[in-house]
Amino acid sequence: MHGGGLPASRIIALMNQKGGVGKTTTAVNLAAGIALQGRRCLLIDLDPQAHATLHLGVQPDGERPTIYDLLLEPRLPIEETVVAARPNLDLIPAETNLAGVETELAGAPDRLTRLRSAVERAADPWEFILIDCPPSLGLLTLNGLAVAREVFIPMQAQFLALHGVGKLMETVAMVGRQVNPRLAVTGVVLCVHDSTTTHAREVVDDLDAFFEQSRQSEVAWRSARVYRPAIRRNIKLAECPSFGKTIFEYAPWCPGGIDYRKLSEVIVSEWDTLRARRAGPESDPAATPPPPTPKVVTTPAARTNPAPSA
């Protein structure tokens, strides 16, 4: 899967050590949007909060193995942990016991690559694999980064989030390098977005400029871009998890449904384009720069006075 040429699956970790930024909402609804396009997708819930599992309305029964067992038992076939959550959408669920993995695997030399080995053992690989990471940089997130080829960073377009983006990229790169030298940050997904404020627009401009300036360097985020559309703030997205439904089941034509549908189409069509170009280093999503953004302004760190909101 990590050999030369184009990998068999597009494996994306949704990661941001900051909590409550939209990782799970994005992981679940992107995975559902990809599956609705008829593509085989696996969602891995790597968070002991088990929010992705709950969001899909899956309740582990205590009998069936979960991600916890997959990490603890190196010979367990991944298929035994997979729940067919929706057509084309498989889930490896989590339970709160996942929090114990950190301690239980402390002495295992292969503790960082348990998930990667499990995915590589899959008899029939999924075309897309999305990994919902917890808001921390511990063993669970490291397992996610070891198997992922790409990292998407869900965040909100606020000054503080922007100010930290360079630091965040460095952290992801540093953590990623420990376990996976080929890992690349390929995208930022703007969540809970309010495009009507001047402030949000300026932050997005600055983010575009930040990534544009990174293109020529060797950093792990040189091919990253701010994905469009941004996901608008929409209460339906906050409501649907409590019904165990995706946004497409709960309120498909609300702004949240429209935005996640479009974004999932972008993710699929990018992959199709890369596949059409066939193997070769330039056809790897992690190595392909996105189209240039028109404006180069300043780095996020250079802005010291946040612009007032409209």
**Residue with smaller CB distance to ligand ATP, 69 or 239:** 239
CB of 95 to ligand ATP, least distance (A): 15
Selection from ligand ATP, Mg ion, none that 36 binds (CB < 5 to 8 A by kind) is none
CB of 241 to Mg ion, least distance (A): 10
| 221 close to 185: Cβ distance less than 8 angstroms | yes
| 90 close to 82: Cβ distance less than 8 angstroms | yes
Binding to ligand ATP by residue 51, rule CB under 6 A?
Answer: yes
**Residue with smaller CB distance to ligand ATP, 141 or 214:** 141
CB of 132 to Mg ion, least distance (A): 6
Contact characters 232-271, ligand ATP, x per CB under 6 A? -xxx-xx--x--------------x---------------
Q: How many DSSP H helices and E strands does the chain contain? A: 12, 8
Q: Considering only residues 7, 22, 48, 93, which one is a binding residue for ligand ATP as defined by CB under 6 A? A: 22
Binding to ligand ATP by residue 85, rule CB under 6 A?
Answer: no
> What is d(CA 207, CA 141) in angstroms, rounded to the nearest whole number?
24
Binding to ligand ATP by residue 135, rule CB under 6 A?
Answer: yes
Pairing assessment for the beta strands 225-226 and 128-132 based on DSSP bridges: unpaired
CB of 28 to Mg ion, least distance (A): 9
Q: Tokens 């998890």 appear where?
A: 241
Selection from ligand ATP, Mg ion, none that 234 binds (CB < 5 to 8 A by kind) is ligand ATP
| 45 close to 74: Cβ distance less than 8 angstroms | no
CB of 57 to ligand ATP, least distance (A): 15
Element (H, E) at 44: strand 41-45
Binding to ligand ATP by residue 47, rule CB under 6 A?
Answer: yes
Q: Considering only residues 11, 12, 15, 21, which one is a binding residue for ligand ATP as defined by CB under 6 A? A: 21
> What is d(CA 171, CA 280) in angstroms, rounded to the nearest whole number?
28
CB of 260 to ligand ATP, least distance (A): 9
Binding to ligand ATP by residue 24, rule CB under 6 A?
Answer: yes
**Residue with smaller CB distance to Mg ion, 24 or 113:** 24
> What is d(CA 288, CA 241) in angstroms, rounded to the nearest whole number?
34
Binding to ligand ATP by residue 50, rule CB under 6 A?
Answer: no
Task: Show contacts with ligand ATP in window 159-218 (CB under 6 A).
Answer: 191-192
Per DSSP, 300 falls in state G
Element (H, E) at 12: strand 10-14
Binding to ligand ATP by residue 94, rule CB under 6 A?
Answer: no
Q: Considering only residues 7, 9, 25, 251, which one is a binding residue for ligand ATP as defined by CB under 6 A? A: 25
CB of 156 to ligand ATP, least distance (A): 9
Contacts of 36 (CB under 8 A, 6+ apart): 88, 248, 261, 264
3-state SS, one letter per residue, for 58-121: CCCCCCCCCHHHHHHCCCCCHHHHCEEEECCEEEECCCHHHHHHHHHCCCCCCCCCHHHHHHHC
**Residue with smaller CB distance to ligand ATP, 20 or 292:** 20
Among the listed residues 102, 136, 99, the one whose alpha carbon sits nearest the alpha carbon of residue 20: 136
Contacts of 155 (CB under 8 A, 6+ apart): 16, 18, 21, 22, 161, 165, 168, 188, 189, 190, 191
Using CB under 5 A, list all residues that contact Mg ion: 23-24, 51
Binding-site ranges for ligand ATP (CB under 6 A):
19-25, 47, 49, 51, 135, 191-192, 231, 233-235, 237-238, 241, 256
